Chains A and B, each alone.
Chain A
Amino acid sequence: MSPNLEQIAELKGHIDRVWSVAWSPTGNVLASCGGDKTVRLWVPTSENGSSEWTCTHVLEGAHKRTIRSVTWSPDGRQLATASFDALTGIWERGEDGDYECVATLEGHENETKSVAWSSSGSLLATCGRDKSVWIWEVAQDNDFECLSVLQEHTQDVKMVIWHPTDELLVSASYDDTIKIWRDDDDDWYCSDTLEGHESTVWAIDFDKTGDYLVSASDDKTLKFWKSFPNNNQEGMDTYRVHPKWKCVHTLSGQHSRCVYSVSWSKVHGLIASGSGDNVIRVFEQDKSQNDTDSPNFSLVASVSSAHGVADVNCIQWYPTEKHSNWLATAGDDGIVRIWRFVE
């Protein structure tokens, strides 16, 4: 039998479109957020994971508008939310077991679209429609200090993510580009601009090594980018001494509408994408190939109408070995779904 995706659970509770889902770093809890201005936390009712899931918490009250994205701190203690109300919320579980908003980060002029923690947990990045990317230092006692405001994108910034191990930030924008940001003694600068997509770049994810990046776009393609170090054999110019990113593969013809989300599993390397054509696709890197400068990816599984007639807004692989074949998706139908990839 060929590999496929089986739905194992359907999580209902949101009363508006679900924009984003995020597994906690240990995978035990799934957070979801959306147009109803809440975050919901979900856990399976049995250890082995079943079709029965419960919503254990509803985080609300801190945001006045849509919560566009949610993410966990690397230690799993805190959650960060990016909202159309221009604020970023930081949530923590109190002694009474409930989550409360312990800090709100202000500064963006309007809609905040995405928030991400660095791998060490010491830095936070936010971005939004005001075209800027902000870098915050996480101090003691839920104090966040703005280190830098980066304004090189010429349009709405849709998403930020950090490198899996290094203090390297990546942002994706409505200006069709991806930018790589580094710091030099707390002076943050753009070390590379990745051009190639023909429309908005909605999502980005690293592979587990951090040497490859995948991007998803309104141009209906997924692009794979590789970082070529300074003095690379290919003779490509680099900025200062930093690696230069180059598109090494484009997946076209797999989605018929905007690709809103992409997730690259750090456990097994499969790549999953979710789109406005209601389809989920799973891709695998061709194993027979040794040429890492021009990797090839092939489709291994898909689900049409994954959320009925609704767009798939977000997709994320379970982060650890335990249920690494699980995939969570968020839809415009207000439902969160959990899938199992079966080989």
Chain B
Amino acid sequence: MPELINANPTIYATSKNSLRVITADDENEDIEDMIDSREVFDLIRSISDPEHPLTLEELNVTQLEHVTVDDNNDSVVIEFTPTIPHCSMATLIGLCIRVRLLRSLPERFKVDINVRKGTHQSEQAVNKQLNDKERVAAALENAHLLEVVNQCLTTAYARGTIKRHQ
């Protein structure tokens, strides 16, 4: 077993349920349902960490407050927090988030993914790479890397039960 980058990460309690609540308006076919930060957070919260059998939410890597969605302007901005400031998995984690959103959000959305300010020593380098679509495209043509990403995404569908409005 290779040495882990962060052998003993802090595990955070997570809500079993989706933070979304289906409202009466959501069920009204005449009202357009806008995509909001809760919905986008649900898409990424259950992605697995590349080295622990834990989700990005359990490791506090992704948080609802750090997901910004502007449906009218087709914009999604995700900030994530690596578990440790020298985490060499940061780019891979960001790539998993990017691929998840590429596959599940409508194409019109422009997604920016950044390390949360001050949480990684190579913050700028990681951000630049994650937002260079040419390098992302090249990375995803790498069969090995794509397999690792897909592995992290196998749990991504889990998002808990969505509460219904009574």
Contact = CB atoms under 8 A, between A and B. Distances in A.
Contacts of B74: 309
Given A257-B110, A309-B107, A309-B108, A174 B138 contact: no
A131 interface: no
Contacts of B141: 65-66, 84
A35 B132 contact: no
Nearest to A37: B141
Given A199-B128, A200-B128, A309-B74, A111 B133 contact: no
Interface residues of B, number: 13
A276 B110 contact: yes
Interface string A125-143: 0000100000000000000
B137 interface: yes
Nearest to A257: B110
Contacts of B164: none
Contacts, number: 34
B107 to A, nearest CB: 5
Contacts of A311: 133
A10 B89 CA distance: 42
A175 to B, nearest CB: 10
Contacts of A111: 138
A84 B135 CA distance: 10
Interface in B119-134: 128, 131-134
Given A84-B141, A200-B128, A309-B74, A68 B108 contact: no
Given A199-B128, A200-B132, A35 B108 contact: no
A35 B128 CA distance: 22
Interface string B90-108: 0000000000000000011
Interface string A198-231: 0110000000000000000010000000000000
Contacts of A68: 134
B114 to A, nearest CB: 13
Interface string A54-72: 0000000000011010000
Interface in A274-330: 276-277, 309-311
A65 B128 CA distance: 23
Given A84-B141, A309-B107, A309-B108, A113 B134 contact: yes
Contacts of B137: 17, 35, 66, 84
Nearest to A156: B135
A310 B74 CA distance: 11
Contact of A129 (B128, B131, B133, B138): B138
A174 B110 contact: no
A257 B110 CA distance: 9
A278 to B, nearest CB: 9
A129 B138 CA distance: 10
B133 A174 contact: no
A174 B107 contact: no
A255 B131 CA distance: 17
Contacts of A309: 74, 107-108
B108 A174 contact: no
Nearest to A65: B141
Given A68-B134, A84-B141, A218-B131, 4 more contacts: A65-B138, A65-B141, A174-B128, A218-B132
6 contacts: A17-B137, A35-B137, A111-B138, A156-B135, A174-B128, A309-B74
Top 9 A-B pairs, shortest CB-CB distance: A309-B108, A111-B138, A84-B138, A65-B141, A309-B107, A84-B141, A66-B141, A257-B110, A66-B137
